[in-house]
Structure 1
Amino acid sequence: MSDTSSKLTHLNAAGQPAMVDVGAKAVTRRVARARSRVVLGADIVALVQHGDLPTRKGPVFQTAILAGIMGAKRTADLIPLCHPLGLDDCQVTIEVELPDAVVIECTTSVTGKTGVEMEALTGASVAALTIYDMCKALSHNIVIQETRLLSKTGGKRDFQHVDEQKN
């Protein structure tokens, strides 16, 4: 890994943590999409399959969507060295995946000098954690899995996850 593009970006020359200087980067439209999969179990999925499950905290999916958007907007407060970004857009969707799971996708965009991958990943993760929190009274066997970046565009290098290239 001697290639300069493979060096860790959040370390300075002395190997200490450092924020990436984006001052010289070009302003471009940057979009990122991330996914989290939550295995709820067939019983819980049956409850949400034909509509959102109401709870004392509100409807599970609607609440998780709001939490995902809020999480994406607060990424710089959660992840050290992330640049605070004023997102242009953040969309969170939740789809039932029979027989036992839901799939959350978070798409973020910004016109700026740094990407929004961490915002998309944070949004998907926070939505998944919210679903867990709201459904844990029904089961603690819920598993959050496969949180990953699906694609990003607009920076130095575009990226598309190998599974997404088939579609």
Structure 2
Amino acid sequence: MRRSLILLGIVVATAAVSAGIGSALAAADGRSLSAKDAALGAGVGITVGLVLACLAGLVVAVARARGIKLASPINDLNREDRLAVIDALRRPLKLDDPWLRSVADNEANRQVKVLRFVLSSLPIAAVGAVWQAAMGDSTMIRVVGVFQVLSFTLLITMFWVQWRRARRYLAISD
């Protein structure tokens, strides 16, 4: 149920962002946004949201087929232990408690596998966004392409930092 709500939120947020970008571009051109244009923007946003939801499902299916666990083992810990494990992975620190150390080791191994998979996939999608930003026919297509390039850059940077932290933790835990 929680995943469905998250995917629904993605679809609604994408529709809202698309409608907002459309109205901003229409205002920049000095014209008002008609109901037809707003409906078209919301429709495109919903379609993009559904495509993203399908891609998320595909990523989950491929990860499961490769034996990568997407669910984090630290989700089952109490708040204090979860924060200790997260802190150990960020800094990296050795944990005193052997059980928490094994949980942190499992989490670091999981992160390395998942993020290697994600980091090998995101640049492929980013190339399409760069192409869209450079070769778009209209201002709106180019603006959306630039927004996508910035988003992919931010995601790749965040995931790369997290991947390096997990690898650093594994290096000190051996």
**Does the TM-score normalized on the shorter chain lie above 0.5?**
no
Q: Relative to total residues, which structure has the larger helix share, 1 or 2? A: 2
TM-score, normalised by the number of residues in structure 1: 0.29
Q: Relative to total residues, which structure has the larger strand share, 1 or 2? A: 1
Work out which structure has the larger RCO, using CA pairs closer than 8 Å and 6 or more positions apart in sequence. Answer: 1
TM-score, normalised by the number of residues in structure 2: 0.29
Kindly name which structure, 1 or 2, has the bigger radius of gyration based on alpha carbons: 2
